[in-house]
């Protein structure tokens, strides 16, 4: 049975299918998520990112994980032409747009390294799955942003990541770094499927900030597919998205 705990202010759900008792593995992975929260939470005064924002830690003193996130952030900024940026308008750093995907990705790596090949890791609807070839792929629902108890699409994935950016749950928490005052009201939900959740999550955030052009950006991004719903309820998908809607 899936097990859910509230970590990082979000529901973290783990499901590992095995004939063995997996509780110790679940505890190990939940502990990892807590460690990520302790390091990257901008809401915790004791976190490394909060200390960085207060100027208490020099660049050369950053942890390896923090350095990796800053490097990935700069790479993503370049790849998205500035539509992804962890530097907020007030000058502080907020790597949340990368950290959730990183945490899910690394949690999945922990589970796989321990010999499990049939599991999913879900944090607030962003998911990494793994399924062995003997079983049907995992089915993941894409929510209707106008009626959240409904799914508008079901996708089937076996070893990919799927991330959704939108305003219908958390409100307007995403902004356009190139024009922070711009109201992002053209689209309400954008879902990206990629080779892993780390990649899918960072590009979903950037593509949403692009508004109606986000789906075009994903269309030209090799190895990624997307499904977007605009403010009028009209859905558009990339040309290869339909391969994930069939088992």
Domain boundaries, the chain: 3-244
Q: What does the CA dihedral 87, 88, 89, 91 come to, rounded to 10 degrees?
A: -60
Task: Chunk the chain into consecutive blocks of 10 residues (it has 247) and report each block's average pLDDT, rounded to whole numbers.
Answer: 95 97 98 98 97 97 96 97 94 94 98 98 97 94 93 97 79 65 83 98 95 96 97 96 94
C-alpha to C-alpha distance for 247 and 235, rounded to whole angstroms: 21
Task: Please give the structure tokens belonging to residue 97.
Answer: 């747009």
Which pLDDT belongs to residue 175?
A: 66
Closest CA to 139 of 9, 237, 15: 15
C-alpha to C-alpha distance for 40 and 240, rounded to whole angstroms: 35
Which pLDDT belongs to residue 169?
A: 54
Token look-up 């894409």 returns: 142
Longest dimension (CA), the chain: 53
State the alpha helices, DSSP H only, in 62-221.
64-79, 96-113, 197-209, 214-219
Task: Please give the structure tokens belonging to residue 64.
Answer: 């390896």
| pTM of the predicted structure, to 2 decimals | 0.93
Q: 69 with 40: CB under 8 angstroms?
A: yes
Which pLDDT belongs to residue 171?
A: 46
Which pLDDT belongs to residue 167?
A: 66
Which pLDDT belongs to residue 185?
A: 78
Q: In the CATH scheme, what architecture does the domain 3-244 have?
A: Roll (3.10)
Strands (DSSP E) contained in 102-201 are 119-123, 126-130, 138-144, 147-157, 161-166, 187-194
Which pLDDT belongs to residue 173?
A: 57
């Amino acid at each position: 049975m899936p097990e859910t705990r509230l970590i990082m202010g979000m529901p973290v759900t783990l499901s590992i299918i095995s004939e063995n008792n997996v509780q110790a593995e679940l505890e190990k992975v939940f502990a990892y998520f807590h460690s990520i929260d302790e390091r990257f939470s901008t809401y915790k005064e004791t976190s490394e990112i909060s200390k960085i924002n207060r100027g208490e830690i020099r660049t050369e003193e950053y942890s390896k994980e923090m350095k990796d996130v800053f490097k990935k952030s700069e790479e993503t900024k370049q790849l998205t032409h500035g539509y992804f940026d962890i530097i907020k308008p007030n000058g502080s750093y907020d790597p949340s747009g990368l950290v959730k995907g990183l945490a899910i990705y690394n949690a999945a790596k922990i589970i796989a390294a321990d010999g499990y090949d049939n599991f999913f890791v879900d944090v607030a609807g962003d998911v990494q799955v793994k399924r062995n070839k003997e079983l049907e792929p995992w089915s993941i629902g894409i929510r209707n942003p106008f009626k959240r108890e409904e799914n508008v699409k079901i996708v089937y994935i076996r070893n990919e990541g799927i991330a959704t950016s939108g305003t219908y749950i958390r409100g307007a928490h995403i902004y356009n770094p190139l024009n922070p005052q711009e109201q992002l009201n053209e689209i309400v939900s954008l879902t990206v499927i990629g080779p892993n959740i780390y990649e899918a999550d960072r590009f979903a955030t950037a593509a949403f900030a692009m508004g109606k052009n986000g789906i075009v950006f994903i269309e030209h991004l090799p190895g990624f597919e997307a499904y977007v719903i605009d403010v009028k309820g009209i859905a558009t998908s990339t040309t290869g998205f339909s391969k994930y809607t069939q088992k």
